[in-house]
Amino acid sequence: MAEKDIIDVANISFYYGKNKEFKIIDGVSFGTQKGEFLSIIGPSGCGKSTLLRIMAGLIKPSGGKVLFNGRHITGPNKEISFVFQDFALMPWLTNVENVKLGLSLSNMDEDKKQKRAVGLLDQFGLAGFEESYPNMLSGGMKQRVGIARAIASNPTVLLMDEPFSSLDELTANTLRDDVIYMLHNKKISVNSVIMVTHNVEEAVQLSDRIVVLSNKPSRVRRIERVDMKYPRDKHSKQFLKKVDGILADLVE
Ligand code: ADP
Ligand code: MG
């Protein structure tokens, strides 16, 4: 029997304007299962960030619904966390306080929150930076704080909006490996990752499936499966063929 979807995006639309005259998303549907890394790719401005925010319960869709384990998502949920492109750290808070923001929906006592946040920073190679501020960190370190904050509440689903696009390639690659490790490590609660990207190579490197969106108003053009073992050889024929196929779809 096929496994049930953790997240089910059912016929989502999003319009804005006084008379809802601007159509951004036009009936998008797909699901994602436990253990899966799913990417959403599409042209700039096609509504990827909007779609991801709808999935996080941060904005309401104009039509359709998103289900999490069969339940309708109507607002932020501590089982679903978000990683932002620009890290979205609070510059006036220390790194450990930034990680603790990820526990604001939790009823843990203050002491436990502190321990959990310090432990996560340590796990992400940031021991010693607890009491310093985000502006003292490199981009890669900032995004580690962003990911630590996101997983602090032990979420099941991690939503990431172009999380590596503002990092240099070397740093981005290390963080990509960290996310794949997190997904497959049973001790870490995350068991499904959904990433928005406009980088086709990155999508093929990381994903089990890739949802390819059309131009605005966006629809699902196709859903591509990537059946290749990790780590994937970016120079292999199979890899390059996949990248070319998706690129061709995007420029159509
Ligand atoms: P992407 O992440 O794919 O680049 P976005 O989801 O950020 O796309 O935005 C899609 C389009 O919708 C953009 O053209 C953006 O300017 C527009 N948009 C989204 N929400 C609003 C809004 N509430 N008011 C005005 N424009 C919006
Ligand atoms: Mg975006």
160-206 pLDDT, tens digit per residue, is 999 999 999 999 999 999 999 999 999 999 999 999 999 999 999 99
Any atom of ligand 1 within 6 Å of the Cβ of 16 = yes
Tell me which ligand sits closest to the C-alpha of residue 163.
2
Query: Mean pLDDT, to the nearest integer, of 25-52?
Result: 96
Any atom of ligand 1 within 6 Å of the Cβ of 231 = no
- 251 pLDDT above the threshold of 90: no
Residue 180 lies in a domain: no
Q: How far does residue 207's CA lie from ligand 1's centre (Å)?
A: 25
Which residues are within 8 A (CB) of 155 and not within 5 positions of it... i.e. 6 or more apart? 78, 79, 80, 81, 189, 190
List b or e across 156-170, with b for residues whose CB sees 16 or more CB atoms inside 10 angstroms: bbbbbbbbbeebeee
Mean pLDDT of the chain: 95
Any atom of ligand 1 within 6 Å of the Cβ of 144 = no
Residue 105 lies in a domain: no
Any atom of ligand 1 within 6 Å of the Cβ of 242 = no
Q: What is the pLDDT of residue 78?
A: 85
Residue 143 lies in a domain: no
Any atom of ligand 1 within 6 Å of the Cβ of 243 = no
Residue 32 lies in a domain: yes
Domain span including residue 213 = 1-79+158-163+187-252
- 1 pLDDT above the threshold of 60: no
Residue 237 lies in a domain: yes
User: Which amino acid, 110?
Assistant: E
- 2 pLDDT above the threshold of 90: no
Q: What is the pLDDT of residue 77?
A: 87
The domain spanning residue 29 has which CATH number? Answer: 3.40.50.300
- To test the pocket of ligand 1, the residue of 44, 50, 62 to mutate (highest count of ligand atoms within 8 Å of its CB) is 50
Residue 46 lies in a domain: yes
Q: How far does residue 9's CA lie from ligand 1's centre (Å)?
A: 19
Task: Return the closest-CA partner of residue 189 out of 144, 157, 159, 162.
Answer: 157
Which residues are within 8 A (CB) of 96 and not within 5 positions of it... i.e. 6 or more apart? 114, 117, 118, 121, 130, 131
Residue 169 lies in a domain: no
Q: What is the pLDDT of residue 20?
A: 87
149-162 pLDDT, tens digit per residue, is 999 999 999 999 99
